[in-house]
Structure 1
Amino acid sequence: MAWPVQAQGKPAVNLSIPAQPLNQALLQLGQQADIQIYYLPEIVRGLDAPAISGVLTPEQALRTLLQGTGIQYERNGNAVTLRRTGEVAELPAVSVTGESPAGPSDLSAAYPGGQVARGARLGMLGIVDIADVPFSVTAYTSELIENQQARNLGDVISNDASVQLGGPWHFDNFYIRGLPLNREEIGFNGLYGIASTEGNVLDGIERVELLKGPNTLLTGASPRGTAGGGINLVPKRADDTPLTRLTANYMSDGNVGGHADIGRRFGADNRFGIRINAAYRDGDSSTDNESQRVGMLSAGLDYRGERLKVSADAGVSSQRIDGAKSNFYVTSPDLPSAPAGSTNVWPSWSYQEKQHTFGMVRADYDVSDYVTLGAAYGGAESTRKMNSPFGIITNGQGDISFSPSALEEDNDTESLEATARLRIPTGPITQQVVLAYTDFRSDISNYQPQTTWSATSNLYDPVSLPEPPGLDFDQALTPLSSTRLRSYAITDTLSALDDRVLLTAGLRHQRIRVNAYHWATGAFESRYEKSRNTPALGLVVKPVDGLSLYANYVEALSQGDTAPNTAVNANEVFAPFVSRQGEVGAKVDWGTLSTTLSAFQIKRPSGFLDGSNRYVIAGQQRNRGLEFQAFGEITPGIRLLSSVAWTQAILTKTAGGQFDGNEAAGVPKWSVRLGGEVDIPYVPGLTATARVIYASSQAFSADNSMRLPSWTRIDLGARYTTRVAGRQVVLRAVVENVANRRYWDTAPAYQTVTYAAPRTFLLSATVDF
């Protein structure tokens, strides 16, 4: 059919739509070409669409997608109606793409290539396009999580060169821009305290959003107070198209599991939605004497009315790792070479057992076209029980001294947020004022069984260790810490010249109150309480289409550090401190490829272990850096997800100038992530993938007497999309650490290191029913 006369002026646009199910392809066409497409879900069910890329009119693109399907289209203005040949074009119970109703489950569209989204949730500012915010933000999609077969949050965040792992894979600790992000500081749907503090399972997660730099203004004070950045997990929601997806997976050397993902919408205008995810994996890993068992169940509900939008999430997860590798504390003046990744010096009787239960609800109500009120509330409980000896590397030959280390811990959290968003049109300048209140509570209790036991082993020739006798578990837990964070904030975003100039100014008043108790007796030890007003200022200027220049200045009040277990003053809690960041950058959208170049400086008080093994706050750490990121499609069928970071982390103002000018531990000067995908033209549906991860050498201690060597890891993979018995099937294979390299792979916080996993094979098969 030819376009109606009134639609003939619709211009050609730059489109990039990968080969995928037809309903998803139509959704992306509606978003990229700014048209509405109406159809009954059953007429596209089970159909696939070819890839489209290049400058095309909506008519050309639609003809290509519908070729051979028997589906015809009619267009009236900006709306397109699809129907089967011979059917009457009617619109009962339609599915709409391009401009779906707004709601709490809304997501920014995926950028061409499907690995990264165009926008993210930025706390009190809501869901914002990355081109419109004066910060460096990346939102990784569920498509990336599935295709890379990510088992944990570290697998996803490792795609960014500004992020380093901060411990074993089974804990979500990271370093962002050279500063620590503790696992307690990971958000869930915009709230702290809901995500697991003991390692998150990703099967129910739609997006992983990474914000670099202090984010206190946007999200409130985090439980530990990071200055390097923040992570937010976005739960899955039901789409208009029904979903029943089953995945079987395998990890060497014998870990097998499955995942079910089911989504439905119902009611008038599909206003009600439910998304259920369930997964279970169990078996040996690629490391000797290590096995992993993971189970999870989550449910996401939502309602999207004309003015009221409500969502609710609940879930449980359980993890057990037997023989789990952990950190080593290093007292040797020489750091030995890392052992083979398959070597495991931890005994088979050691374990980490973790449970997590959570629930939260979020609601938004449009009082008028200019006023929106919102609220969110949630709570969670994370528990951990472990018996894993503590290892100290004592010399350059790799000798290890072990002592007993056992723990039972319970972390109860509650979190609350209330917002009022006011849109004020004032002629040529539009204002959006947001008022926010946050309240966070965390109570941690624990019990640490004690016994006299010691053993020795070696990194390269481990011996069988006897189990420590007399460890008495299942005793009453005693208080360890109690944290209360409360804040009030206001932001005002001014928009002028058709959103080409956006200025955001804000102020947050924060109050931190922390009680610390003795780790063994639960007796009260110390309390501190501090409040402060922390400002933030951000500017975005778009001189031409596709180019965003931005700058920001942010201050953040952070909860004070806690001395590590390896220090003689273990668990001592220090007073809160203020971190400051300045950043400038440029974001360029080339059509199907997005690039970001940024420069930043962060200053914050510095903590380290001194010569007497006491953790002290002395001096300041100043991190300066340059970052470059690129993602999207270079050409049709070639996708890129890469970044490079140069970071100079220096200690200043140390006591007596002892370490002034030294490199801060745990920050590689150069970090590189080069990832890409190529569709094989001679085998439709086949895609080859590759990723290179590199970290330069880095200081290991404040005196810089030891360094961790540089390392490089290469991952290769492939996936094949086809149809079997009328069902879409995706087969995936990934080999991590192809060269089986040996290296220390985590940031050496408090003089601790972890060695990398060996070559690991990942296989999965996904079927849509």
Structure 2
Amino acid sequence: MSSVTIVRTRRHQAGLPSLSPLSRAIIVACLSIGAVGLGGTAYAQQARPADTSPQMYKIAAGTLDQALNAFGAQAGILIWIDATRTQGKTTAGLNGQYGVEGGLAALLAGSGLQAVKSEKGGYVLQDASSSPTSNGTLPTVEVSAAADSGENNAYRTRSMNLGALGAGSLRNTPYTVDVVTRELIENKQAHSLSDAVKGDAGIASGSNYTNGTGDVLLIRGTLLSYRNNYKLDGMDLIGFLGAPQLPVEVMENIEVLKGAGGFLYGFGTPGGIVSLSLKRPTDAPVRMLNTQITDSGKVLVHGDLGGRLGEDGRFGYRINLINEQGNTYVKDGGKIDRQTASLAFDWRLTRDVVLSVDALHQERRVDAVYYQLVPNASGAVSNAISAPPAAVDGSKRLASPFAYSQVRSTSLGTSLSWQFAPEWNAKVSYRKWDQDMQSDHSFLYANAAGTYSEMQISLPSQVRSEQTQAMVTGSFGGDFLRNDVTLGVSYSGIYAQESNDFKSAVLGTGVLGTNTNYANPGLSTVWTGGGWRFPEQQKSAFISDIVHFGSQMDLIGGLRHSSFRSTTYDKGAVTPTLALVYRPVNWLSTYASYVEALEQGSVAPTGTINANEVFAPLKSKQTEIGVKAELENWSGSAALFRMNQALTYITSGGVYTQDGQARYQGLELSSKLRLDRRWNILASAVFLDARNTRTSGGTLDGKRTPGASRQQYSLYSEYSLADMPATFTGGVRYVSARALDTANNWELPGYTVWDLGARYVTHLGQTKTTLRLNLDNVANKAYWLMAGSNRLIQGAPRTVSLSAQFDF
């Protein structure tokens, strides 16, 4: 061969440190991982298969050599290019979602070439009419390791979707981002969104999918909004009385943007955006059955079926079905009954036009749940915050067994992508979301001694939302100065309401953890329509330009104009972003960015004197500087950030107010390392200074923001045995003390949770079988989760999960 091109993979993440023994250990892990990465790899590694799951590609038309190099870098594969075969050949590029082999076929279409797998990994170009050598193998070539997104590469990925900027490389993204892969979700046997993301120190859980009514997340100490910060494939999922309850088992990955994202996604709180990507058709057939049981007696069965049909695999399908039933870890009354179905289809109408359609439906009921526990001085029904009670083991029932949350949700989505010119693509997307909640859940009020009152509320609610978005992306320019341009418009309509038939009752008083049984007041209401209505319209138009100055520097600029109309106000604002990325060497990116967030005004919560009062929209501002590195077996990042957000809180008189600012500033560190062929280490840490400023009279200035911990650390490791297909895992997460109230009179203690696990891969006949055992919260630590200044939920207790996965 006259020329050989080796393409290596990339990836990054985010996190930071402090000073307890655990914090020192994790900081050392982050920094030592970096040292190993910077020092290069000191060992040989066999080639591994690339991740065949589809991802978004945006590769400009041009010479075949350049396009193949760009594809290899994004896909994480090695492509061996013979310059005499590719000389003078061009390609129309790629702009859409492809698997590895589908993408290669599309790039090589009409070139007379085909990409064939090497026996040692990677791909070699051959004439389309040629066949393998007489012994059935390709000529031997020396290759370096090809990385994938699974355990073979420390669960690293290469790219993600970033709203208005589209798909892009994580390393060249001027924000702190992370991707939780499907493989990591499966190997941790994640039961919820909170379980799936707990390995990232930058994200904290504020509620519980089993004890409470749904997942609530905080990023950089900021509570994510139910209404705008959770997405499905980048499109809106609107929650109302709680966050959208989404099944992680049917997701390909979870993409997290940390910090303000007003330009990228429109309205939303500045903490970040969590976007879940639905499993979609793959080029390789999928035939999977997973069965799982927990020590409490909960059973889950999950089937996953996918592939392609028709000429050239033109039709793709992916079907996931889940049934989950049994006892939750909440003893003496905790039960769950859940059915989930997801469907995803695509049709390659032509080489340049792809139509995608998907549907997600879930029905879920959980018994013995409560919405929140409010710590107060009396233990009676009151939102006046006081010292908290001692943490209660998560397996102990606090709510009555007849308190329940029942949610039915449906999402329908479709998109049409058209590459109308070699370097230009147009895409129109639509998503509809319906969620009905029929809940008779409890509100608990407890004093420091554990004396509590339970109030039950029956309040059916409905949310209907839809979003339509149109985007045009394209590239122009030469080799040194090149522009990647995005233009788009978006419209969202939201309609949320509660039933007129609102009922509540105080059930009685007792002592936390004693399983007090009260008479069922039979509050269950029937939807009657009417009630408080919250119609909203959100409209936006956005434009961005990424200017590439050669291969070392990118200048990113963008503007989004958003308008928000409701029954109480009609406001509009412009949210800009500006960023600079500089690569002194090809494996290292440095960046500085400025971005804003625009969020609708807060709504005073139930139980406050001014409940349901709607406040004016808010704008937040964020600056960040950082560095990201990617080498063959290691990726790491560090980011310094500062963000200001309008402050909301409940006064001592029980009034919900919007006054002053909360200032969040800190440092995140993160590393992911494939230490050798058998050992993965993932470490992250966060140091956060979150304080109030500019409050009326300055009485709260300098006080810590409730719910934001000063330090959070996470460490996860896997080690595979050399003489058998078994892997052992271990993880630890630390969250420091958090201020309980705005005046900082009380705080919640910190906590440390340890997890262990193991998996074993074998074959039953021709069927690959993976056995997994996970033991979460090994020490059965009792601790409080916290969302905001008055909402506490028990942390999950010791939980054992055992599963058998069959890949046919």
User: TM-score normalized by structure 2?
Assistant: 0.82
Determine the C-alpha separation between the residues in 2 that align with 1:374 and 1:580: 30
1:403 alignment partner, one of 450, 455, 474? 455
Residue in structure 2 matched with residue 205 of structure 1 by the alignment: 251
2:805 pairs with 1:761: no
Change (3 A) 1:182 1:376: same
Helix, strand or coil for the counterpart of 1:341? Answer: coil
Residue in structure 1 matched with residue 442 of structure 2 by the alignment: 389
The answer as to whether partners of 1:18 and 1:113 remain within 8 angstroms in 2 is no
Output the amino acid matched with 2:636.
Answer: T
Output the amino acid matched with 2:334.
Answer: E
Shift of 1:82: 7.9
Shift of 1:115: 2.1
Shift of 1:713: 0.2
CA deviations over 1:350-399 (Å, ceiling 9, x no partner): 11101111111112211111321111011110111111222111x21101
Residue in structure 1 matched with residue 589 of structure 2 by the alignment: 548
Determine the C-alpha separation between the residues in 1 that align with 2:190 and 2:129: 38
Helix, strand or coil for the counterpart of 1:171? Answer: coil
Residue in structure 2 matched with residue 699 of structure 1 by the alignment: 739
2:344 pairs with 1:300: yes
CA deviations over 1:420-464 (Å, ceiling 9, x no partner): 113111452000111110111110111253255431121132311
Residue in structure 2 matched with residue 461 of structure 1 by the alignment: 514
Determine the C-alpha separation between the residues in 2 that align with 1:275 and 1:194: 25
Shift of 1:572: 1.2
Determine the C-alpha separation between the residues in 1 that align with 2:466 and 2:152: 38
Output the amino acid matched with 1:597.
Answer: A
Determine the C-alpha separation between the residues in 2 that align with 1:626 and 1:30: 30
Shift of 1:609: 0.8
2:179 pairs with 1:139: yes
The answer as to whether partners of 1:35 and 1:79 remain within 8 angstroms in 2 is no
Helix, strand or coil for the counterpart of 2:786? Answer: coil
Determine the C-alpha separation between the residues in 2 that align with 1:754 and 1:261: 33
The answer as to whether partners of 1:325 and 1:344 remain within 8 angstroms in 2 is no
Helix, strand or coil for the counterpart of 1:132? Answer: coil
Determine the C-alpha separation between the residues in 1 that align with 2:488 and 2:505: 52
2:215 alignment partner, one of 151, 161, 172? 172
Change (3 A) 1:262 1:79: same
Helix, strand or coil for the counterpart of 2:533? Answer: strand
2:163 pairs with 1:123: yes
Shift of 1:157: 1.9
Residue in structure 1 matched with residue 202 of structure 2 by the alignment: 162
Determine the C-alpha separation between the residues in 2 that align with 1:673 and 1:594: 16
Give the alignment of 1:636-675 within 5 angstroms: 636-675=677-716
Determine the C-alpha separation between the residues in 1 that align with 2:459 and 2:292: 32
Residue in structure 2 matched with residue 193 of structure 1 by the alignment: 237
Shift of 1:259: 0.5
The answer as to whether partners of 1:554 and 1:582 remain within 8 angstroms in 2 is yes
Residue in structure 2 matched with residue 359 of structure 1 by the alignment: 412
Output the amino acid matched with 1:400.
Answer: Y
Give the alignment of 1:429-440 within 5 angstroms: 429-440=481-492
Residue in structure 2 matched with residue 48 of structure 1 by the alignment: none
Shift of 1:475: 2.9
Change (3 A) 1:153 1:477: farther
Residue in structure 2 matched with residue 728 of structure 1 by the alignment: 768
Output the amino acid matched with 2:790.
Answer: Q
Determine the C-alpha separation between the residues in 2 that align with 1:6 and 1:275: 42
Determine the C-alpha separation between the residues in 1 that align with 2:133 and 2:673: 34
Determine the C-alpha separation between the residues in 2 that align with 1:189 and 1:80: 39
Change (3 A) 1:160 1:18: farther
Shift of 1:564: 1.6
The answer as to whether partners of 1:509 and 1:531 remain within 8 angstroms in 2 is yes
2:786 pairs with 1:747: yes
Shift of 1:108: 9.5
Determine the C-alpha separation between the residues in 2 that align with 1:296 and 1:84: 48
Output the amino acid matched with 2:556.
Answer: T
CA deviations over 1:192-225 (Å, ceiling 9, x no partner): 137995310122210100001111211222xxx2
Output the amino acid matched with 1:509.
Answer: H
Aligned length: 700
Output the amino acid matched with 1:303.
Answer: W
Change (3 A) 1:424 1:709: same
Determine the C-alpha separation between the residues in 2 that align with 1:364 and 1:580: 33
2:376 pairs with 1:331: yes
Determine the C-alpha separation between the residues in 1 that align with 2:598 and 2:341: 36
CA deviations over 1:492-529 (Å, ceiling 9, x no partner): 1100122x2111101111101122xxxxxxxxxxx111
Determine the C-alpha separation between the residues in 1 that align with 2:5 and 2:544: 38
Residue in structure 2 matched with residue 45 of structure 1 by the alignment: none
The answer as to whether partners of 2:151 and 2:184 remain within 8 angstroms in 1 is no
1:215 alignment partner, one of 241, 261, 269? 261
Output the amino acid matched with 2:158.
Answer: R
Change (3 A) 1:718 1:280: same
The answer as to whether partners of 2:453 and 2:506 remain within 8 angstroms in 1 is no
Determine the C-alpha separation between the residues in 2 that align with 1:600 and 1:30: 30
The answer as to whether partners of 1:6 and 1:77 remain within 8 angstroms in 2 is no
Output the amino acid matched with 2:460.
Answer: E
Give the alignment of 1:100-119 within 5 angstroms: 113=153, 115-119=155-159
Determine the C-alpha separation between the residues in 1 that align with 2:504 and 2:264: 46
2:480 pairs with 1:428: yes
CA deviations over 1:705-741 (Å, ceiling 9, x no partner): 1000010000100011111112111111100000001
Shift of 1:10: 5.5
1:271 alignment partner, one of 314, 322, 334? 314
Residue in structure 1 matched with residue 104 of structure 2 by the alignment: none
User: TM-score normalized by structure 1?
Assistant: 0.86
Gaps of 5+ in 2: 9-40, 54-71, 83-114, 139-144, 378-385
2:445 pairs with 1:417: no
2:651 pairs with 1:610: yes
The answer as to whether partners of 1:595 and 1:630 remain within 8 angstroms in 2 is yes
Helix, strand or coil for the counterpart of 1:279? Answer: strand
1:252 alignment partner, one of 295, 298, 314? 295
Shift of 1:336: 1.6
The answer as to whether partners of 1:74 and 1:80 remain within 8 angstroms in 2 is no
Shift of 1:348: 1.2
The answer as to whether partners of 2:338 and 2:363 remain within 8 angstroms in 1 is yes
Output the amino acid matched with 2:630.
Answer: D
Residue in structure 1 matched with residue 358 of structure 2 by the alignment: 313
Determine the C-alpha separation between the residues in 1 that align with 2:760 and 2:133: 29
Determine the C-alpha separation between the residues in 1 that align with 2:613 and 2:765: 62
Change (3 A) 1:239 1:480: same
Residue in structure 2 matched with residue 55 of structure 1 by the alignment: none
CA deviations over 1:518-552 (Å, ceiling 9, x no partner): xxxxxxxxx11111111110111100121010111
2:226 pairs with 1:183: yes
The answer as to whether partners of 1:451 and 1:469 remain within 8 angstroms in 2 is no
Residue in structure 2 matched with residue 94 of structure 1 by the alignment: none
The answer as to whether partners of 1:325 and 1:346 remain within 8 angstroms in 2 is yes
2:427 pairs with 1:374: yes
Give the alignment of 1:526-545 within 5 angstroms: 527-545=568-586
2:516 pairs with 1:476: no
Determine the C-alpha separation between the residues in 2 that align with 1:80 and 1:178: 59
Shift of 1:268: 2.3
Q: CA-atom RMSD, angstroms?
A: 2.9
Change (3 A) 1:588 1:21: closer
CA deviations over 1:18-63 (Å, ceiling 9, x no partner): 8789989xx99984312499xxxxxxxxxxxxxxxxxxxxx9x944
Output the amino acid matched with 2:470.
Answer: A
Determine the C-alpha separation between the residues in 2 that align with 1:152 and 1:146: 11
Determine the C-alpha separation between the residues in 1 that align with 2:416 and 2:371: 41
The answer as to whether partners of 1:718 and 1:732 remain within 8 angstroms in 2 is yes
Shift of 1:470: 5.1
Helix, strand or coil for the counterpart of 1:146? Answer: helix
Determine the C-alpha separation between the residues in 1 that align with 2:742 and 2:307: 55
Residue in structure 2 matched with residue 449 of structure 1 by the alignment: 502
The answer as to whether partners of 2:370 and 2:443 remain within 8 angstroms in 1 is no
